[in-house]
Structure 1
Amino acid sequence: MTVILVPQRGTYKLILFDGRNVRETGVFSLTRSSRGYRPTDLKIRRPGRRNYSNVPTKRLIEILRQDEVRVTADDPALNAFLGDFQIAPAKASLCRICLLEDRVTPLKKKNTARFGREQICMDCAERELRREMGYLGRFGDRSSGHVRALLESYRDVDRVLALLQPDQRDRTQTIFDRLEASRPIETSHIGDIAVPQEFARASGVEYLTPVQQLAVNAGLLEGQHLLVVSATASGKTFVGEMAGLKNLIEGRGRLLFLVPLVALANQKFLRFRERYKDIASVSLQIGASRLNLPETRPVGERSTRAQIVVGTYEGMDTVFRNGRSLKNIGTVVIDEVQNLEEPERGHRLDGLIARIKHTSPNAQFLYLSATIGSPGVLARKLGAGLVRYDSRPVPLERHLIFCEKKKKLQYVKSMVREEFGRRSSKGYRGQTIVFTNSRARCHTLADALGNNVARPYHSGLTAQERRHVEDLFTSQKIACVVTTAALAAGVDFPASQVIFDALAMGIKWLSVQEFNQMLGRAGRPDFHDEGRVVILAEPGATYSRTSKVTEEEMAIALLRGRMEEVAPEYGIEGSSEEFAANAVVCRGDEGAIKRAEASMVGTLEPVLPVLLEHHLVRRQKGHIELSDLAKVMARHFIGVERLLLVRRLVKKMDDPLQILAEIDCAVPGER
């Protein structure tokens, strides 16, 4: 048994601890007499009992002499008392808050956090944080997890509380992370890498860009599958061209280059046809329009037999869904692969990739994206290496502050003023862009800051009014512009600081791509030494009644670049559509269908029983035979729920337009 003595401002707490449980607790005083300090008023109780019982003080002496004694703090009176009875206590490092609640928690390096001037255990530190978070607002699970992670990292309750109590804001305490400036990457001359000389001459490229060099270093020219994540206009398309033309010229197969939009497909087709006209034939594969308009007429050869085939996702998928296939494909480039996370077309892109893998198992696959959540996770699911290049010319500090909406204005004012009072080594004053979610809020914030400090800037202003604000800002006559997230792409002010008053565009949360574009406005190498981003997030706040995510949770998700892990979600509708399409490509071979499903990023629902129940397929000896209606599902990009809805409506209605209207109003499952 161990006796723990805890000095408590004139009294002393007594704890009898058997190594696992507290057996008894007590309290006593020390009174100075002619013989020295002696105990008085000893009271003891057992755990679970509310009241103390008076006990003769000689019981205390018996306890102290029989058991090991430890003290939690140095106390002259206690030391003198123990010395008179020849008791030599050892020092105990225990959590004081636990002791107050009759718990004994030894403080070790791995389980302690600073709280004021003392060390407490991590459990008590977490309880203190939860208590403060309860005062501030309704925190979601993500933000609570983030706060716990901060506590694990800092081991300092007060430092973490600075995030929850912006009245005590300290820039060194609210920092979420710091993105350092990119180091220059030495790149190769096109003639010094292992590409055919005829391609090097036709490419029009002299030196590789950094992301192209990183891709080459990662095995691009040795046939490695890669997910390449880099900013727009950084040269990702040429990554696909290098591998595709090398594989084509060296006899490993044709190049298939897929994009999400018809306009992009037309653009790539024209570019490739002009650049590589002396090396390869180029064709375009997009969905055919039934409207004979100038903007819908084909711009190029539609054959799938060309050496370079440029197409849209759906345009190429139509080929597979109609039972045809592409032979001798050596390279497949999927541009804008982040479309996997789109609710409507994500599962279709996922299925298309699986179908191409089935028909071209030896092809090299390259996936391109400007911004994507959890790229490492997606790369693993795609079976590809990750090449990531985040270009940042100046360092960027990112800060997260939790606060109520009514306090946001107060902190915007102080941060704008502080930033405008600084000058960079280039001689420029610090200026701020504030992003918010509505035009009305733009005016509210700008008016509160003052006309000589800030101006609103949004699409509701005339072109002349916007140019006037631009002139005021670039000439450093105002400290701040307040603009909407919807205008983020068109805002090109040389700001050193970006503040997020809201994380929504209207009532819709920002995407990771939009958020990164906006925070990228902070810090210009020709003007500033560093950039700063500050998010003011209100715990529990949201902009839509249907949203289950709160503002502070969204802030953490955006800062971590993990808005959503890219993984299509499948219901019965999407799963049945992809099952039918896979069955067409796999010629009904059930084993091949399962292998195609296994190669997909998302996970299909088990739809075969549903299809069998409605007699849409027949199953016999490892073979799946599609009915005519199931073939319609595959060919026309619809699933079983929509098909059954059409079948029911056809029985009740004769007018095709009325049937279409009913389908649109009664969209099943996945919309």
Structure 2
Amino acid sequence: MTVIIVPQRGSYRLIIYNGKKVLDTGVFGLTSTAKGYRPVDFKTRKPGRRNYQKVATKQLVDLIRTSSIWITNPDPALMAFLGDFQVSSKVAPLCRTCLLEDRVTVLNKKNGVKYGRERVCMDCAERELRREMGYLGQFGHRSFQHIRALLETYKDVDRVLGLLQPEQRDPSQTLFDRMEAVKPIKTRHITQVPVPPAFAKASGVEYLTPVQQLAVNGGLLEGKDLLVVSATASGKTFVGEMAGMKNLLEKGGRMLFLVPLVALANQKYFRFRERYKDLATVSLQTGTSRLNLPETRPVGERNMRAQIIVGTYEGVDTIFRNGRELKGVGTVVIDEVQNLEEPERGHRLDGLIARIKKTSPNAQFLYLSATIGAPNVLAKKLNAKLVRYDSRPVPLDRHLIFCERKKKVQFIKSMVREEFARRSSKGYQGQTIVFTNARARCHTLADAIGANVARPYHSGLTAKERRHVEELFGSQKIACVVTTAALAAGVDFPASQVVFDSLAMGIKWLTVQEFNQMLGRAGRPDFHDQGRIVLLAEPGGTYSRTSKVTEEEMAIALLKGEMEEVAPVYDIEGSSEEFAANAIVCKGDEAEVRWMEQQMVGTTEPVLETLQKHRLVRRKQGHIELSDLAGVMARHFIGVERLLLVRHLVRESDDPLEIVAEIDCTEARKEEA
């Protein structure tokens, strides 16, 4: 039999334990007499009962003399009492919370958890966490699994509670993990690699970065097609510049540099124009607005005969879809090639690559990405050699904090200001990118942080307004930009901290690939000593009525997620659009259209019969003739389903606004379904 004695305020609690369960509990006091400390007011009760019954103190003395004695906290009076009766005891590590509930749990390294100044068992710690989580909102099952895993890892309730109490935040408590920087490989000076001296001088680069050196080792300057996968800010853009400028200056053809967004195209255009102004002409090819206003007019030189053409995917694809050609291209750089996975644009990028290969068969293709799943598989599909550099140039701390939406604004405000107050060993202040899900939210957050500290940055701004924000951030005159997740690929700011106000793009959750692309913006080796990302996840929060996943569950899924292989399958809509565009490039040669489909990474649906059924194409002796409507389909980036819908609506109504509204409603219903 074991007797456990727990000192309380002015008394002692006694628990009689047989090694499996509690048999009785009791309380007693100690009083000082001429003979020493003696027990008084001894009472006992059975487990589960409330009322105590008074018992003779002689029974307590007999029980203590015949049992093993465990105590939870040495007490002078208690030790003197036990000594008077020559009773030995040992201090046992027991969960105090369990004892209060008539349970006995012996603590050890495996199940002991720190809670304040004491230790409790894992079950009691878990109940405390559940109670705290209940105050904050409706957590999903996946979220509690994550919290439980953290508890088992840290063995510290307060540290885990730091995730749930942002007003008491401690960076050491909110840290999810750290992505360490790896000591870079030895690289060569730019003058030691076989590039033209004029380019080496104009580039402003001295030593290559590791990924640049690996690309050179992999045949970059010998004309090899490469898929280059490396973290943001590791120097992938310059990989394309080295090959492109070498080919250009050595009469190997012009350079075509493709990016996903206008904002990013503008940045590359101005950078290349300034850097290579004495070596090459540079032009910009992006989509143009149908509204001829000063703020919507395109920027940059639009000369399609320029030696360097920077453009968006759709901007350059428009050339091919209108039956024109880009001649003399020697180098094609596809930046952010992970966009092949995008539901809306993936097939267009895929088709564009095939169209360029058809019209420039001898060009060198370089595919760049910071985040892509199974890159070795994609490299094989692209018929390119994989160059991969996994380590980050600076370490990256990833933090996860659960908090209510209404608390996010103040929290972001303090994080932005704290980061701006830090200065790196390179002499730069810390700056922040805040990603959110809507343009209106960009303005709300920027206004809350302060106009002198933060600015909104999204596709609704004019090119001039965006350039002004870029200049303010680049000169460190502001601490923060607040931008939409939809513009993530086009944001090229040297930030040390990235904060996720939401984990959605509009009403759709981010993919693992998109998330990794965005977090890669934190920490630049030329500016910062380390990067930091912070996810603010609302328990139970969501951005769509149909979503079965909550924001805090999505945060955990993104942080733990692995990217999937790039293997898209295109529906009738996307497949028919690419078929029509390819037919224009191939001048109707059916065999060549089939060849181009085989060059694509994704799998297209057979659409020829569908197009014939609706009299959009005619097929005769291996030749495909597009109708005028099919030409419209290709030129305006729409597929057969949308084309037929537009044709039907035009027949039903002559009101353009009504037609556009119905198209939007139809697509929204389709998307929701």
TM-score by length of 1: 0.57
Cα displacement string for residues 408-430 of structure 1 (whole angstroms, at most 9, x for unaligned residues) = 798789989999999999999x9
| Cα distance in 2 for residues equivalent to 1:120 and 1:6 | 16
Q: Which residue is equivalent to 1:57?
A: none
Is residue 2:330 matched to residue 1:333? no
8 Å contact 1:256–1:310 — kept in the other structure? yes
Is residue 2:362 matched to residue 1:379? no
Q: Which residue is equivalent to 1:635?
A: 634
Q: Which residue is equivalent to 1:349?
A: 349
8 Å contact 2:338–2:372 — kept in the other structure? no
Q: Which residue is equivalent to 1:300?
A: 304
Is residue 2:23 matched to residue 1:26? yes
Map of 1:165-180 to 2, 5 A cutoff?
A: 165-166=165-166, 168-175=168-175
8 Å contact 1:396–1:523 — kept in the other structure? no
| Cα distance in 2 for residues equivalent to 1:410 and 1:149 | 29
Deviation at 1:333, TM superposition (A): 2.5
| Cα distance in 2 for residues equivalent to 1:633 and 1:458 | 40
Which residue identity is paired with 2:136? L
Q: Which residue is equivalent to 2:157?
A: 157
Is residue 2:136 matched to residue 1:132? no
What SS does the corresponding residue of 1:367 show, helix, strand or coil? strand
| Cα distance in 2 for residues equivalent to 1:492 and 1:610 | 42
Deviation at 1:132, TM superposition (A): 1.1
Map of 1:556-571 to 2, 5 A cutoff?
A: none
Deviation at 1:639, TM superposition (A): 3.2
Q: 1:320 to 1:422 in 2, by over 3 A?
A: closer
Deviation at 1:349, TM superposition (A): 1.9
What SS does the corresponding residue of 1:300 show, helix, strand or coil? coil
Q: Which residue is equivalent to 1:207?
A: 206
Number of equivalences:
601
Cα displacement string for residues 312-362 of structure 1 (whole angstroms, at most 9, x for unaligned residues) = 534665788899999999965312335446553234224545787899999
Q: 1:326 to 1:213 in 2, by over 3 A?
A: same
Q: Which residue is equivalent to 2:366?
A: 366
Q: Which residue is equivalent to 1:64?
A: none
| Cα distance in 2 for residues equivalent to 1:261 and 1:426 | 30
| Cα distance in 2 for residues equivalent to 1:670 and 1:160 | 38
Map of 1:142-153 to 2, 5 A cutoff?
A: 144=144, 147-148=147-148, 150-153=150-153
Identity %: 45
| Cα distance in 2 for residues equivalent to 1:95 and 1:594 | 67
8 Å contact 1:6–1:13 — kept in the other structure? yes
| Cα distance in 2 for residues equivalent to 1:670 and 1:72 | 65
Which residue identity is paired with 2:23? G
8 Å contact 2:97–2:124 — kept in the other structure? yes
Q: Which residue is equivalent to 2:482?
A: 485
8 Å contact 1:226–1:366 — kept in the other structure? yes
Q: 1:421 to 1:331 in 2, by over 3 A?
A: closer
Which residue identity is paired with 1:226? L
**Greater alpha carbon shift after TM alignment, 100-109 vs 661-670:** 100-109
Is residue 2:115 matched to residue 1:115? yes
**Greater alpha carbon shift after TM alignment, 164-173 vs 629-638:** 629-638
Q: 1:485 to 1:610 in 2, by over 3 A?
A: same
Cα displacement string for residues 102-123 of structure 1 (whole angstroms, at most 9, x for unaligned residues) = 9898866555533345555545
Map of 1:241-280 to 2, 5 A cutoff?
A: 241-243=241-243, 257-260=257-260, 275=279
Q: 1:611 to 1:119 in 2, by over 3 A?
A: farther
What SS does the corresponding residue of 2:304 show, helix, strand or coil? coil
Is residue 2:228 matched to residue 1:227? yes
Q: 1:273 to 1:339 in 2, by over 3 A?
A: farther
Cα displacement string for residues 50-73 of structure 1 (whole angstroms, at most 9, x for unaligned residues) = 999x9xxxxxxxxxxxxx999796
Map of 1:603-618 to 2, 5 A cutoff?
A: none
Which residue identity is paired with 1:27? D
What SS does the corresponding residue of 1:485 show, helix, strand or coil? strand
8 Å contact 1:485–1:505 — kept in the other structure? no
| Cα distance in 1 for residues equivalent to 2:99 and 2:354 | 60
Deviation at 1:135, TM superposition (A): 1.5
| Cα distance in 2 for residues equivalent to 1:649 and 1:570 | 29
Q: Which residue is equivalent to 1:539?
A: 538
| Cα distance in 2 for residues equivalent to 1:457 and 1:647 | 46
What SS does the corresponding residue of 2:188 show, helix, strand or coil? coil
- Unaligned 5+ segments in structure 1 are 55-67, 447-453, 461-466, 618-623
Map of 1:411-490 to 2, 5 A cutoff?
A: 485=482
What SS does the corresponding residue of 1:344 show, helix, strand or coil? coil
Cα displacement string for residues 257-306 of structure 1 (whole angstroms, at most 9, x for unaligned residues) = 533468669879989997479xxxx999988999999989961349xxx9
Q: Which residue is equivalent to 2:649?
A: 649
Cα displacement string for residues 191-215 of structure 1 (whole angstroms, at most 9, x for unaligned residues) = 433x4x6x45555457344252353
Deviation at 1:239, TM superposition (A): 0.9
Q: Which residue is equivalent to 2:59?
A: none
Q: Which residue is equivalent to 1:192?
A: 192
Q: 1:254 to 1:184 in 2, by over 3 A?
A: same
What SS does the corresponding residue of 2:638 show, helix, strand or coil? coil
8 Å contact 2:541–2:550 — kept in the other structure? yes
Q: 1:184 to 1:534 in 2, by over 3 A?
A: closer
**Greater alpha carbon shift after TM alignment, 258-267 vs 516-525:** 516-525
Deviation at 1:365, TM superposition (A): 5.1
| Cα distance in 2 for residues equivalent to 1:610 and 1:336 | 31
- Unaligned 5+ segments in structure 2 are 30-37, 54-66, 380-385, 458-467, 616-621
TM-score by length of 2: 0.57
Q: Which residue is equivalent to 1:620?
A: none
**Greater alpha carbon shift after TM alignment, 182-191 vs 433-442:** 433-442
| Cα distance in 2 for residues equivalent to 1:457 and 1:298 | 33
| Cα distance in 2 for residues equivalent to 1:249 and 1:423 | 41
What SS does the corresponding residue of 2:212 show, helix, strand or coil? helix
| Cα distance in 1 for residues equivalent to 2:342 and 2:652 | 34
| Cα distance in 2 for residues equivalent to 1:561 and 1:135 | 26
Which residue identity is paired with 1:299? N
Deviation at 1:642, TM superposition (A): 1.3
8 Å contact 2:633–2:640 — kept in the other structure? no
Q: Which residue is equivalent to 1:463?
A: none
Which residue identity is paired with 2:155? R
Q: RMSD value over aligned CA atoms?
A: 7.7
Q: 1:347 to 1:122 in 2, by over 3 A?
A: farther
Cα displacement string for residues 10-43 of structure 1 (whole angstroms, at most 9, x for unaligned residues) = 55556778xxxx7x653255999xxx99xx9998
What SS does the corresponding residue of 2:373 show, helix, strand or coil? helix
| Cα distance in 2 for residues equivalent to 1:166 and 1:96 | 28
Cα displacement string for residues 393-445 of structure 1 (whole angstroms, at most 9, x for unaligned residues) = xx8877665555777798789989999999999999x9998979566766667
| Cα distance in 2 for residues equivalent to 1:655 and 1:427 | 59
8 Å contact 1:175–1:400 — kept in the other structure? yes
What SS does the corresponding residue of 1:366 show, helix, strand or coil? strand
8 Å contact 1:646–1:663 — kept in the other structure? yes
Which residue identity is paired with 1:485? V
Q: 1:641 to 1:296 in 2, by over 3 A?
A: farther
| Cα distance in 1 for residues equivalent to 2:124 and 2:361 | 56
| Cα distance in 1 for residues equivalent to 2:479 and 2:271 | 37
